[in-house]
Chain A
Amino acid sequence: DGGITQSPKYLFRKEGQNVTLSCEQNLNHDAMYWYRQDPGQGLRLIYYSQIVNDFQKGDIAEGYSVSREKKESFPLTVTSAQKNPTAFYLCASSSDSLSRYGYTFGSGTRLTVV
């Protein structure tokens, strides 16, 4: 079945460490997105990518980095520069020609700083 796979489901990070969240899709979608979800704030866009080897900052990119070396993969690295990384992270994708139908979302990764 086609879809988006995020891993791990839960992730714990010590302060000062970088961690990488995985996002893989087999939908042949061109565009991929990373959102952060905090209680009471909805979803906020971190980074997005429309094509391989290209990505753009979203509204809250500071302290995060991404890469898009393959169409199927869009990993997100939470760096030690991110002051408050504890949150729920959602990856999504869309086909450029079908984006009017919205996004397909992964099941998310819960990141906790310990």
Chain B
Amino acid sequence: AQTVTQSQPEMSVQEAETVTLSCTYDTSESNYYLFWYKQPPSRQMILVIRQEAYKQQNATENRFSVNFQKAAKSFSLKISDSQLGDTAMYFCAFMTRFVGSARQLTFGSGTQLTVLP
């Protein structure tokens, strides 16, 4: 079974600064997908960014980028130019790429990020 670990329960960052959220995972598979989801106070889950394990290039989406280290099983999220609207709980998640599986998402415990004005 896969496990996802987020070791930072809470973090804070000043507006306009850069912050990095950590995530590690454990799997015996070689092909899989990784995700970062954001859950603001509204509690709506929003996909921030995704990475396919067979791609070496790190994914980027505007101010959000990842540092994917496959050998180390590490998948950190970097938020540049932090904005007040980035305040949210951030979840790292793993999905198997195995064909025929239920494609379940396994989530970490989350990191509560607060952007300070």
> Contact check: which of A31, A42, A88, A101 meets B107 at CB < 8 Å?
A42
Give B27 Cβ to nearest chain A Cβ, in Å. 16
User: Are A33 and B104 in contact (CB-based, < 8 A)?
Assistant: yes
What is the total of A-B residue contacts with beta carbons within 8 Å?
60
Count of residues in A whose CB is under 8 Å from the partner chain:
26
> Contact check: which of A43, A44, A50, A108 meets B102 at CB < 8 Å?
A50
Give A8 Cβ to nearest chain B Cβ, in Å. 14
User: Are B91 and A42 in contact (CB-based, < 8 A)?
Assistant: yes
Give A7 Cβ to nearest chain B Cβ, in Å. 15
User: Are A102 and B95 in contact (CB-based, < 8 A)?
Assistant: yes
Give residues 33-59 of B contacting A (CB, 8 Å): 33, 35, 37, 42-45, 47, 50, 52
Known contacts A42-B109, A43-B91, A43-B107, A102 near B47 by CB under 8 Å: yes
The 9 closest A-B pairs by CB, nearest first: A105-B45, A99-B103, A42-B109, A42-B107, A43-B107, A102-B47, A102-B35, A108-B43, A42-B110
Partner-A contacts on B (CB < 8 A): 4, 6, 9, 33, 35, 37, 42-45, 47, 50, 52, 91, 93, 95, 97, 102-110
